[in-house]
Structures are given as C-alpha cells and as structure tokens.
Amino acid sequence: MKKLTSIIALAMSVAATDVVDAQSTHKGKQQNPYTLVYEGAITKNEKGKVNIHPVKYKLNGIEIAANVYTPANYDASKKYPAVAVAHPNGGIKEQTAGLYAQRLAEEGYITIAADAAYQGASGGEPRHTDKPASRIEDIHGMADFIIQYAGVDANRLGVLGICGGGGYTLKAAQSDKRFKAVATLSMFNSGEVRRNGFQNSQLNTIQERLKQASDARVQEAAGDKIIYAGVASITDAEIAKTTTDLYREGYEYYYRSHAHPNSTFLYTMSSLLDLMTWDAATNMDLINQPLLMMAGSKADTKYMTDEAFPKATNAKNKELFLIEGATHIQTYWKPEYVSQVVYKLLSFYQKNL
C-alpha cells in the first residue's frame, strides 16, 4: 500500500511542531480545492484514478454535505461494494473520515463520508448540536444516499465508524440491516463519557451537569444566546499541560496538524440532556452482522471498546483487533497505523461483503 508522509515531527517540541504544522496545514488547504487536510488527499480528479465527488442531499429537511469517492476506472454500469464512513466527535469529512474513505476507494470500494447534521458544512440549527438520535440518523442517511448511487451494490454495503462515529455506528447497525458488515475504529462511547466523564472522572458531578444542561435548554427555548460546552480554542501551553493522550493529541490534531475551519470541539450544552441518558453499548445483542472493532493497544479510550465488544453476543465473525503501539488519535493519521487498519478492513470487508 502507498505510504503516507508523516505530518507531525514528534521529536520536536510542542511549540515548534505547532508552528510547522499550522503552516503546512494552511498551505495544504490553499492547494486542495476540496479543503481536504489529510496527507495524500486527492487534489484533482483524473481519469483512471480514484475520484472525489462533493454531493448534497436532504435528510429530514436538513441539507447534508458529503464526499463520495469512486475507485480507479470507475464504471457506473458495473457493481461495486460500498462503505459509509462516520466521522469522529468534533471531526468532519475532510479529516480522518475522508482519509479512510479515500484509502478504501483505492482498493475498489465506493465510499461516502458525510458531515453530521448541525456540524461541518451540513445544515441545521443550532450549530454544533450533538445529539445521539441525530448522529445515528446521519448514518442511516448515508446508507439512503449511497445505495442509490450509480454502480453501488446495495447488497454489499459496509459501515466504518471512527471515535464517536464508532459508537453511533454500533447503534445504527443494531437496527439497520442494510449494513452487511460493521466496523469501528477507536470507538468512543459519547454517552458514557458525557455522563461519567472520561475514564469515569466526573461521577460525582452528574446531577450538577444535568442541571446545567437543563438551564441551557431553558435559555435556548427563550431565544437567548446558545450556551456551548467544549473547547473553542487552545494555546500551545495548554496543550502541553494536558495529561491524557486523547485530549492532548486531539487538540494537536484538530487545532494544529489537521485543523479545518469547519471542525470544532464545541457542542451545545443542551445536547447533554440526550447524551447523558444514552449509551452506545446497550442492546449490542441486536447486532447480528459481522463485527470488527479496532483500537490502539495504547489508547486511553480502549476501555470503551473492551466494554462494548463482549456484549455483541449475536454478531457473526466477531473480532477485536488491536493496533499495537497506537494511541487513539494516532489511528487517525499515522502512516504505519493507518496501513494496518486499512489492511484489516480490506480483509474484513472482502470476507463479508
């Protein structure tokens, strides 16, 4: 497989890395007409190569922005397997979701990566709403669109969910049997983390945070200013002081090396009313499709995959695959880990689609 060029010089200091990556990312977005920020991204459509097709479609009255990737020498009269890719929390289609969509297209799949409703380039108000029902519906919506796309074999549709998109993918696949093979990468159980805190660090403040969410809903209903949770911006010093790999490397990824104006760590405070009562790992026994769950062996989020995987008691050809040495965010971009993930996905989809 084609190797990707490393983006971050990890041996450098955080400050120096930030300067280099911010400059290279800005330059990359200037050069890329599709504003893709991952390394090796398509810059133009050429005959005989993988092509990218920006599309828009309506989902429950909201305009969704997506990118469809078609394989080299794509022929609309032929039939191809397809994969829908659900992006991480805070992520958009131009980042790691697009990277994996492009890599799978390079291997002969028609793929789609869509921005979630209320996020990215998709419509919906208030902006940055992050409710499980909506994120799950986004995944159903990708299936609606891609199975009608010229050349797609509707009987060979797979799904890949990354980070928060992985948790929502598990839930979507429980009921949506159009997905014949289900894969997650670095699965993040958004409900569990918003409720209990990352690594169960906020168990003592659940009721307080629910009150904050309720108050935010009151303010929204009155037409006042929307209250947001999350991080709007961050300094180099704050990044350096962040103790967890997920958030420190996540800040570097989203605000430095793979920054994009449509990507944000913000979400409406009122979204917690839905998030905190939801859990990705409930009803896992409803998944009867083949299931592949992948996580970095060093990921501080691995516990969420470990919790969910055993509950999929009816999944066919179930497999938990560890990416040796990888942290959560490193599975988004680091060449040696991306190649392992793609290789595993190809084996899984070829067997089950």
The pLDDT score that the predictor gives to residue 7 is 26
- Sheet-wide strand order for 316-323: 51-59, 62-70, 110-114, 80-86, 152-162, 181-185, 290-296, 316-323
User: Which amino acid would we find at residue 210?
Assistant: L
CB 119 within 8 A of CB 146: no
Longest dimension (CA), the chain: 58
Residue that has been written with the tokens 């449509």 in this structure: 262
Both tokens of residue 304?
């969420």
CB 16 within 8 A of CB 251: no
The pLDDT score that the predictor gives to residue 58 is 98
CB 226 within 8 A of CB 260: no
- Candidates 76, 80, 72; CA nearest to 154 is 80
The pLDDT score that the predictor gives to residue 30 is 54
The pLDDT score that the predictor gives to residue 336 is 98
- Compute the C-alpha angle 251/68/24, nearest 5°: 35
Give the span between the Cα atoms of 114 and 55, in whole angstroms: 9
Please enumerate in sequence order all residues whose Cβ is within 8 A of that of 67, keeping only pairs 6 or more positions apart, or say none.
34, 52, 53, 54, 55, 93, 94, 98, 101, 112, 113, 114
pLDDT tens for each residue of the chain, 353 residues long: 333 322 222 222 222 333 334 434 444 455 899 999 999 999 999 999 999 999 999 999 999 999 999 999 999 999 999 999 999 999 999 999 999 999 999 999 999 999 999 999 999 999 999 999 999 999 999 999 999 999 999 999 999 999 999 999 999 999 999 999 999 999 999 999 999 999 999 999 999 999 999 999 999 999 999 999 999 899 999 999 999 999 999 999 999 999 999 999 899 999 999 999 999 999 999 999 999 999 999 999 999 999 999 999 999 999 999 999 999 999 999 999 999 999 999 999 999 99
Give the span between the Cα atoms of 17 and 167, in whole angstroms: 31
- The per-residue pLDDT for range 72-95, each reduced to its tens digit, is 999 999 999 999 999 999 999 999
User: Beta partners for 85?
Assistant: 113, 160
CB 327 within 8 A of CB 249: yes
Rg (CA), the chain: 19
Give the span between the Cα atoms of 151 and 69, in whole angstroms: 12
Please enumerate in sequence order all residues whose Cβ is within 8 A of that of 207, keeping only pairs 6 or more positions apart, or say none.
none
The pLDDT score that the predictor gives to residue 1 is 36
The pLDDT score that the predictor gives to residue 154 is 98
ω into 126 cis (within 30 of 0): yes
The pLDDT score that the predictor gives to residue 21 is 40
Domains, the chain, ranges and CATH?
14-189+231-265+279-352 (3.40.50.1820)
* Beta strand pairing call for 181-185 and 290-296: parallel
- Candidates 73, 72, 55; CA nearest to 64 is 55
What is 293-334 written as a DSSP string?
EEEETT-TTHHHHHHHGGG-TT-EEEEEEEETT--TTHHHH-
**Percent helix / strand / coil, the chain, rounded to 5:** 40, 20, 40
Kind and range of the H or E element at 216? helix 206-221
Looking from the CA of 239 toward its CB, the CA atoms found within 13 Å total 20
User: Which DSSP category does 32 fall into?
Assistant: -
